[in-house]
Structure formats: C-alpha cells, structure tokens
Amino acid sequence: MAAAFFLYAASGTIAPWWAVVVLLVVWLGFFVVACRWWSTRPRGITVLAVGAIALWFVVLVAGGAWLGWEA
C-alpha cells in the first residue's frame, strides 16, 4: 500500500488537483480495507495493493486519453 500511496500522491504531475484529491480519497479507502484485513487476510492485502496500482494506472491513462490530462 505504501508503493501505491507514492503513485497516487505523485499524480499531480499528470492529473489536475481535483483528480489527485479523489485518488487520495480512494487510496485512503484501500488503506482502511488493508488495515481491517491485516490479521484476517494477510495475502489479500497484496492483491489489494496490486489492484490499487492497476486502478491508478487505468485512471491516469483514461484521464489522459479522454480528458486531455498531460504532464
């Protein structure tokens, strides 16, 4: 989740500020789920982190393609 946080937080170089705020709120949701899964599903946290990185990639590619976000 820490690796995903750095990607989400550094999105300001590509995405507008409002999109970065939305991304960070989404990451916070992922983090809350990861904290809840810490003891019960430790392997699920890895899958969750990979999903968070995949979502970040999809959002930035879609934003660049359809909304004209540029670096």
- The pLDDT, as a whole number, for residue 34 is 95
Counting Cβ atoms within 10 Å, is residue 43 exposed (0-12), middle (13-18) or buried (19+)?
exposed
Q: How confident is the model at residue 70 (pLDDT cuts 50, 70, 90)?
A: confident
- The pLDDT, as a whole number, for residue 61 is 95
Whether 20 and 66 have beta carbons less than 8 Å apart is answered as: no
Find how far residue 53's CA is from the centre of its chain: 6
Rounded-to-integer distance, Cα 38 and Cα 60, Å: 28
pLDDT at 45 > cutoff 90: yes
pTM, full prediction: 0.90
- Give just the sign of the alpha carbon dihedral 58, 61, 64, 65: negative
Average the pLDDT over 26-32 and give the result. 97
Domain boundaries, the chain: 2-65
Rg (CA), the chain: 13
